[in-house]
A and B are shown apart, each in its own frame.
Chain A
């Protein structure tokens, strides 16, 4: 890269004139000042970025590598200092573990149930918010409010709303002639209920991201589409959605990462029954299973193996997304 004095050209005419150093005419104070000044220019960028990398090394990189190491050992939470080498046993055990596959299946189902409707609704909502509106600031803040609600508070409310006997959802269903649903014990019903919490908390957030992207779409595109006689729906389909494709891709990736890590909602939706994800593990996700293995059953080594499995799954998804996008772009 370029020499830093050349980049910040004013410094060369400042106190850093070469004469001050080599010519011997400068007083010792000036020499010292110019040297300090050059040091400052050269090293302060590193000082500014150093805190991030120091914290990342201590609390990000070290744990990341150490997880791989711990996954090859038997470690108990009660005595984390004594580690017994077991090779790949934590991983082979996982392969034969029906609860792991169950958790993986649940994570995928709940992920799809929450991500797909969430992004579709967010896209429609953003389209509405993009009209010239009276009180648009109010609507934007209002749909974002769930984002300010914590997983814990939101889940506790939804547990009550989805209650089997006295919950409001079942009351509303029976009011319009449907039968009451056991939202906590049915497999599909409970997964749908957990997904609802996710959808409620994140739809407004994604809508704002889409709205920002929509406002960057040039107005001429809509004008020419309107001249060609395209209806509003056709404009949405043929102008808005294609222009938003990178943003849609971005939100898909972010939501998928979020869905893989789903933890708080299934933990608390279980009421007082702990980390099993329902009486029959029907809504136990991978994140919850990791927590159960590590902090309920005290097997930190197995928890580490689950963490690495989750990471590999994420990498697979990322790779698949890349392929998918590459193919779309080349078309």
Chain B
């Protein structure tokens, strides 16, 4: 199949797909650079206007986007770091260590992926209300700090990427499990850790259901919660709403621009083995 060279038609169709994928994002920027009067006219604008700076400023101050972005960086960063760390530990144990009950425990990990988040949202809310964590960032960090996907992803990678001989050699030298982890496992797992970190960061950045239950616009909202406030018309200016949407999306687009190939590789890798 790889021998088949793409024809001209393939490029045309792919270009159309690419346009469809990118157009709503480009148009967000166009709408964010106009004003609400221009957006309420036909035909809609197809090119940039001169209001981008003003709209970004209004969104930044009125919807507290600066604080929301900072909150989101903290949440997504912590969740990504925690997921990568804990998943590597558990993934290593499931991939390379034999211990009583490892098979049923791994099955349990995979089974937890089938539980819909809605099923636990009511008690989770009661729990954080009891701890007085509503509107606090730990309410959205702690419940997502570990994940079955991460454990499974790291296990699948380490099964092949970490030769048993390396571990055994370290053991012969009398290395403790912690030393093995630090000097053998982490270096071998680094590429997968990077990919998992990025995937988790994207997922945590875009998480919606639980943050909107646990956080409000009045406390410490994440970007997604702040955007809901914009959309609900606290600021009824459409171009400002689009500026807010742009602010919430740009950081991830930057991540994509730099690490896009690795993220693509990570998704494809997870898919084949999953």
Contacts and interface: CB of A to CB of B under 8 A. Distances in A.
Majority secondary structure of chain B interface residues (helix, strand, loop or mixed): helix
B18 A153 contact: no
Contact of A307 (B5, B40, B108, B122): B122
B227 A156 contact: yes
Contact of A213 (B105, B123, B206, B272): B272
Nearest to B109: A52
Interface string B8-25: 001101100110111011
B271 A209 contact: yes
Interface in A225-269: 232, 247, 250, 257, 260-261, 263-264, 267-268
A310 interface: yes
Majority secondary structure of chain A interface residues (helix, strand, loop or mixed): helix
A92 interface: no
A51 B90 contact: yes
A52 B171 contact: no
Given A63-B123, A157-B24, A160-B39, 8 more contacts: A45-B97, A60-B120, A148-B206, A149-B24, A151-B224, A257-B114, A263-B208, A314-B114
B132 interface: no
Interface of B: 1-7, 10-11, 13-14, 17-18, 20-22, 24-25, 27-28, 31, 39-44, 86-87, 89-90, 92-94, 97-100, 102, 105, 108-109, 112, 114-127, 129-130, 142-143, 145-146, 148, 151, 167-169, 171-172, 174, 176-178, 181, 202, 205-206, 208-209, 212-213, 223-224, 227-228, 230-233, 238, 241-242, 244-246, 248-249, 252-253, 255-256, 260-261, 263-264, 267-269, 271-272, 274
Contacts of B227: 150, 152-153, 156
Interface stretch (A17-25, A93-101, A123-131, A187-195): A123-131
B129 A80 contact: yes
26 contacts: A1-B100, A8-B171, A11-B171, A45-B93, A52-B90, A56-B112, A59-B142, A60-B120, A63-B120, A63-B123, A133-B14, A137-B260, A137-B261, A139-B17, A141-B263, A149-B25, A150-B208, A156-B245, A166-B39, A166-B41, A212-B268, A247-B271, A271-B232, A272-B231, A290-B118, A300-B122
A31 B160 CA distance: 36
Nearest to B7: A131
Contacts of A143: 17-18, 21
A219 B105 CA distance: 38
